[in-house]
């Protein structure tokens, strides 16, 4: 609601024109100078709603009498209609220059794109504390991929209850949506800049994942010694090719099901027997025979850089699947234990 004391004279004039109605206002607009019309437009952009009592005081201030214009006036929208129907596009362009006339947006923008950028576990933890119907409404507003990632980060009973409610959910009233949006904006998004360090953790982890295992362990030891904050979050994103045996059998099967036999063969050249077996045990019999046959021919003529690049590709694929909620990395499993 607009406070009367904060209105400028152009805003008051715009309010009166809106209250007069389109026919009368259109006739009056022809008598305004170009500078005055521009001031009216600029004033109307910031104008919201005016109660009848305040409108009457504005009318009295301008020493004019009007007989209509009660209630709450959506002044910016009505002023937009009056101006566009009273003035030609050329006149509007001449008044506003290169600036396009647009009505000021009603309230803050939708929050759903910002929610999709959050860590699924962070949003899932918040929704777990809310009513299942509220959580179902929120997830129904997200993209399918984002909603799936959040569901996978939640406990199974809560997940099932939310999905059940999403299936039977009817059209959500706009008023209810706004209430939930405001709650999420104040409880989740407002804390992102100060509490969500996931972006920094991901950056550090991406650097550390480029190191060899001995170098990585040395750096992590140094970071622990100096008391680096959020180190568990960094550790949960770390994974090296040598860590493959630490994954569960189910996770390895899922990982190698999406990788080519050529890539796997290249990565396994020169690998320790235990590591090789952990990989081959997660691959189908036919593919395993092909890989074993290739490995039996030796690695002569194959560049070490190519082998390391293949291993890096598999490590990156493992991290990506874990971030999508397909499975947990060994570091995360150890932390939970």
156 and 182 belong to one structural domain? yes
Residue 13, in any domain of the structure = yes
Phi-psi region of 301 (alpha: psi -120 to 50; beta: other; left: phi over 0): left
pLDDT of residue 122: 78
243 and 284 belong to one structural domain? yes
Structural domain for 185, as ranges: 112-195
Each residue of 286-300: pLDDT tens digit?
A: 999 999 999 998 888
243 and 176 belong to one structural domain? no
Residue 208, in any domain of the structure = no
Phi-psi region of 211 (alpha: psi -120 to 50; beta: other; left: phi over 0): beta
CA 332 distance to own-chain centroid:
24
* Listed residues 96, 130, 149: the one ending a domain: 96
The CATH number of whichever domain residue 36 belongs to comes to 1.10.220
Each residue of 200-253: pLDDT tens digit?
A: 677 777 778 777 777 778 888 888 888 777 777 777 778 889 999 999 999 999
At residue 184, φ and ψ (nearest 5 deg) are: -65, -40
CA dihedral (56, 62, 68, 74) positive or negative: negative
125 and 150 belong to one structural domain? yes
The model carries a pTM of 0.42
Cα–Cα dist 112/142, whole Å: 6
Total tally of structural domains belonging to the chain: 3
The CATH number of whichever domain residue 182 belongs to comes to 1.10.220.30
The answer to whether the CB of 298 falls within 8 A of the CB of 221 is: no
62 and 90 belong to one structural domain? yes
85 and 135 belong to one structural domain? no
Taking CA atoms, 313 is separated from 185, 201, 281, 318, in Å, by 38, 20, 20, 9
246 and 332 belong to one structural domain? yes
332 and 243 belong to one structural domain? yes
């Amino acid at each position: 609601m607009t406070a009367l004391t904060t209105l400028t004279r152009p805003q008051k004039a715009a309010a009166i024109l809106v209250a007069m109605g389109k026919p009368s206002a259109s006739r009056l607009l022809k008598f305004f100078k170009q500078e005055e019309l521009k001031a009216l437009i600029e004033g109307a952009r910031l104008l919201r709603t005016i109660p009848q009592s305040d409108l009457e005081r504005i009318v009295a201030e301008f020493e004019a009498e009007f007989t209509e214009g009660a209630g709450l006036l959506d002044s910016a929208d009505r002023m937009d209609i009056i101006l566009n129907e009273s003035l030609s596009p050329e006149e509007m362009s001449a008044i506003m220059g290169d600036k396009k006339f647009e009505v000021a947006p009603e309230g803050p923008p939708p929050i759903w794109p910002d929610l999709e950028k959050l860590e699924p576990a962070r949003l899932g933890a918040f929704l777990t504390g809310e009513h299942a119907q509220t959580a179902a409404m929120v997830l129904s507003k997200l993209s399918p991929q984002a909603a799936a990632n959040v569901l996978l980060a939640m406990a199974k009973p809560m997940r099932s209850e939310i999905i059940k409610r999403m299936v039977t959910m009817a059209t959500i009233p706009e008023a209810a949506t706004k209430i939930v949006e405001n709650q999420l904006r104040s409880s989740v998004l407002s804390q992102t800049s100060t509490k969500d360090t996931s972006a920094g953790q991901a950056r550090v982890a991406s650097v550390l994942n480029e190191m060899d295992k001995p170098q990585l362990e040395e750096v992590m030891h140094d970071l622990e010694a100096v008391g680096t904050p959020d180190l568990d979050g960094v550790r949960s994103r770390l994974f090296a090719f040598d860590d493959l045996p630490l994954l569960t059998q189910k996770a390895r099967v899922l990982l190698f099901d999406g990788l080519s036999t050529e890539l796997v063969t290249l990565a396994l050249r020169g690998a320790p027997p235990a590591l090789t077996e952990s990989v081959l045990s997660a691959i189908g019999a036919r593919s395993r025979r092909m890989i074993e046959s290739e490995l039996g021919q030796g690695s002569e003529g194959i560049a070490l850089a190519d082998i390391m690049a293949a291993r890096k590709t598999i490590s990156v694929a493992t991290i990506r699947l874990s971030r999508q909620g397909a499975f947990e990395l060994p570091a995360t499993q150890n932390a939970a234990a």
